[in-house]
Amino acid sequence: MKYFKILLFFSLIFFSFLFFTVFGAGGATTSDKVADLEDQIKEVEAQLKKLQGEEKSLKNEINYINSQINYTELKIKEVTNQISQKETEIIKLEDDIVNLNDRLDKLNDAISFQEKIISAHIREKYKKEKDSKSLELSLILSSPTISEMLGKIKYLKTIAEQDRLILSQMTITRSGFEGQKNLLTNKKDKITLLKTEIEKQKQSVVSYRNNLGDQKSTKEWVLKETQNQEDKYQELLAQIRSELDAINSAFADIVGKEGKEVKAGEIIAYEGNSGCSTGPHLHFGVYKNGVAVNPRKYLGDELEWPIKNAIVTQEFGENYSWYMKNFGVPGHNGMDLTGPAPFYGTPIRAVADGVAYVSYDKKACAMTGTVGKGIVVVHENGLKTIYWHVK
């Protein structure tokens, strides 16, 4: 019995220390704070909304593009900071997992130790007696005095209370073990979730950077096309608006008309600057089911190039936000091409076999005084191609 009392004393000290080490040492931790850019982003969003409704002028256009650039740069910073925060959180979680594994090992050792103490106590307690009642009876009957008998009864109750304490401590330890296991699982799941979110945010950063590049190139394009002059900016707007209207009406204009069969590579027109064109060039478009598609997907494969040794001055889909803001279309709806100098009069060829139709603007462009002219070719593969600003 003396052996058990010593073992019990040290076990209670050990488990009290272990409990506070495992459960009391870990407190709530906070992630490293990142710069909060929400207020700045909201301010820029309000500025963009305001500029969106202002009159179309070169000054307002450049202010709008600059605000877009500022907004995109802020979003890149915001998402980059969020990624950094999550990566820091992952490092912390990985450290926590290492610590949790160590705690679980200690708790497992603690449970094993408690089981040994209980087993040792049971063997000591019932070594000579079959059950606790016979042990209690023999102790009471062997007492020479009432005082000694009461002391032994109190001792037995103390032993029973110590049993309950050990068993209670063991229950707490087991509960803590399961709690730590669940916490470990939760932290591993959290890491998986954070890594998934980081990958998505990295993709959004790539997208924002692509947008930023497009916005900067749009600004350069607008300034180059307008030479930073208001009248030329208004001419550019008129050209694009006229071009879009002309192409829409051209498809409707050929209905019921008799066309001419053409072969791939056959000359069907010559490069000009008819209609609202600020200079000689060919606007070449490819349409599938009535929707403009990127000619690059077909040129050199299903379709030949309309101009030999063509120089591309504007790609399909370029300046997305500028076209969407001003005309409601997702970027330039064709490719602007020109041939080698002197440009004007460069032969334009059919890109594939089909039926060609000539189309004209309904009226002359107020800016140039000329009527826009183009060719629409309907192909057997379901594609339609359009060649605009021809002479």
253 vs 303, which has greater pLDDT?
303
Residue 50's contacts (CB-CB under 8 Å, 6 or more residues apart) are none
Instruction: List, for residues 312-368, the tens digit of each pLDDT value.
Output: 999 999 999 899 989 889 899 999 999 887 778 899 999 999 999 999 888 888 878
Query: CB neighbours of 29 closer than 8 A, spacing ≥ 6?
Result: 92
Greater pLDDT, 269 or 114: 269
Strands 267-270, 260-262: parallel, antiparallel or unpaired by DSSP?
A: unpaired
Q: What is the per-residue pLDDT for 63?
A: 93
Domain ranges, ordered by start, for the chain: 2-224, 243-388
* pLDDT score of 159: 57
Q: Residue 28's pLDDT is what?
A: 41
For residues 187-215, average pLDDT: 93
Asked whether the beta carbons of 132 and 163 are under 8 A apart, the reply is no
Which one-letter DSSP state was computed for residue 333? S
Cα gap 322→19, rounded to integer Å: 65
Rounded-to-integer distance, Cα 120 and Cα 122, Å: 6
Q: Which residue has the tokens 């992952």?
A: 90
Structure-token pair, residue 322: 């500028």
Rounded Cα distance, 282 and 343, in Å: 10
96-123 confidence digits (pLDDT tens): 888 878 877 776 777 777 667 766 665 6
- Distance, C-alpha 384 to centroid of its chain: 36
Q: Is residue 236 within 8 Å of 326, Cβ to Cβ?
A: no
Which of 15-19, 134-138, 163-167 bottoms out in mean pLDDT, i.e. has the lowest?
15-19
What is the average pLDDT value for the chain, to the nearest integer?
Answer: 81
Q: Is the pLDDT of residue 2 over 60?
A: no
Q: Tell me the fold of 2-224.
A: Helix Hairpins (1.10.287)
Distances (CA, A) of 55 to 12, 139, 305, 389: 81, 105, 39, 28
Please report the pLDDT score of residue 365 as a whole number. Answer: 84
